[in-house]
Amino acid sequence: MAAMITVYGIPNCETVKKARAWLQAQQRAYTFHDFKKQGVPESRLDAWLAALGWEALLNRRGATWRQLDEATRAGVTDAASARALMLAKPSVIRRPVVEWSDGAISAGFDAQAWAQRH
């Protein structure tokens, strides 16, 4: 049996909805991990940070980031400070984070890039 694709995110996020719809349209089986209900798995977060870097994983364009006070935003200067914020406020993680069946990790949804994964 092929390894499963795991999609991490928040169900009401528009980008997550698009990504899940794309996977269903491509008939790709996946499991969904809901940050709101299940939290952020620390060991997986460490793997994402190692694979993508904290800058790529931190969503500075989202509402959660904009709602943070200036001191909190200014305090995110490296992987350790970004990791602490991501654990405290999972909504600042760029979504969806996908662990592909081949072991690759991606953040965000890009239909063209995803189609090349076939």
Q: Find, among 74, 84, 95, the residue nearest to 20 by Cα.
A: 95
For residue 56, indicate whether it is catalytic: no
Catalytic residue among 6, 9, 13, 45: 13
What would the 3-class secondary structure string for 52-87 be? HCHHHHECCCCHHHHHCCHHHHHCCCCHHHHHHHHH
Q: Pairing state of beta strands 30-34 and 5-9?
A: parallel
Active site members: 13
